[in-house]
């Protein structure tokens, strides 16, 4: 049997299988207009382990990333330089890719950690002090809210 005859024989044996696959394929689904996910543009780097007993080059690498204390989190843009620094200290840090909308400044991170005041101010300080001095109100703290009530 020649090589050409063998190729034709193989094509005839594969033809029914190909036809069967084509006939059972799923119909094409129209794409939905879902919002595109945000591009991941920054690294969120958190220092999990200290570099105290490590050589100075590791400590300097952490400083160049902006990490000075344990559990401190910084955001760095994606770049080859930052990726190389992360690889150097990969055993000490936790890294996540985040979009630009998730990037927080140091002040924003601090404000997120801050607990609520525990009370709310009903009147401004000058209004309340004036009314209190004139005997029109008394200050009663109740259920962590400062309520101002009229004195009768």
User: What's the pLDDT tens digit per position in 20-56?
Assistant: 555 556 667 666 777 888 899 999 999 999 999 999 9
Please report whether residue 95 resides in a domain: yes
Note whether 73 and 120 are same-domain residues.
no
Tens-digit pLDDT string for the chain (152 aa): 677 677 777 666 655 555 555 555 666 766 677 788 889 999 999 999 999 999 999 999 999 999 999 999 999 999 999 999 999 999 999 999 999 999 999 999 999 989 888 777 666 666 666 766 676 655 554 433 444 454 44
Query: What pLDDT, on a 0 to 100 scale, did the predictor assign at position 25?
Result: 60
Query: What pLDDT, on a 0 to 100 scale, did the predictor assign at position 34?
Result: 75
What is the distance between the terminal CA atoms of the chain, rounded to a whole angstrom? 116
pTM of the predicted model as reported, rounded to 2 decimal places: 0.57
Please report whether residue 34 resides in a domain: no
Note whether 105 and 126 are same-domain residues.
no
DSSP assignments along 35-47, one per residue:
PPPPPEEEEEEEE
CATH number of the domain at 65, please: 3.30.1390.20
Please report whether residue 68 resides in a domain: yes
Long-range contacts of 123-126 (CB under 8 A, 24+ apart): 123/148
d(CA 18, CA 141): 80
Domain total for the chain? 2
Please report whether residue 50 resides in a domain: yes
Query: What pLDDT, on a 0 to 100 scale, did the predictor assign at position 108?
Result: 93
Q: Domain range for residue 68?
A: 40-113
CA distances from 3 to 10, 12, 85, 122 (A): 11, 15, 59, 94
Please report whether residue 98 resides in a domain: yes
Give the strand pairing for 93-99 and 137-142. unpaired
Note whether 44 and 106 are same-domain residues.
yes
Note whether 105 and 132 are same-domain residues.
no
CA distances from 87 to 22, 66, 68, 99, 100 (A): 47, 15, 18, 21, 22
Note whether 130 and 145 are same-domain residues.
yes
Among the listed residues 120, 143, 122, 144, the one whose alpha carbon sits nearest the alpha carbon of residue 131:
122
């Amino acid at each position: 049997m020649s090589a050409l005859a063998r190729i034709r024989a193989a094509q005839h044996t594969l033809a029914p299988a190909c036809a069967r696959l084509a006939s059972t394929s799923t119909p094409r689904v129209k794409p939905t207009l879902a919002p595109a996910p945000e591009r991941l543009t920054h690294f969120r780097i958190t220092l999990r382990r200290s570099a105290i007993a490590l050589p100075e080059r590791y400590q300097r690498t952490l400083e160049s990333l902006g990490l000075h204390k344990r559990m401190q989190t910084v955001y760095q843009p994606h770049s080859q330089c930052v990726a190389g620094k992360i690889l150097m200290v990969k055993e000490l840090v936790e890294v996540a890719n985040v979009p630009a909308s998730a990037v927080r400044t140091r002040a924003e991170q601090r404000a997120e950690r801050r607990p609520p005041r525990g009370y709310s101010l009903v009147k401004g300080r000058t209004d309340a002090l004036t009314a209190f001095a004139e005997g029109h109100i008394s200050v009663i703290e109740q259920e962590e809210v400062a309520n101002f009530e009229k004195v009768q």
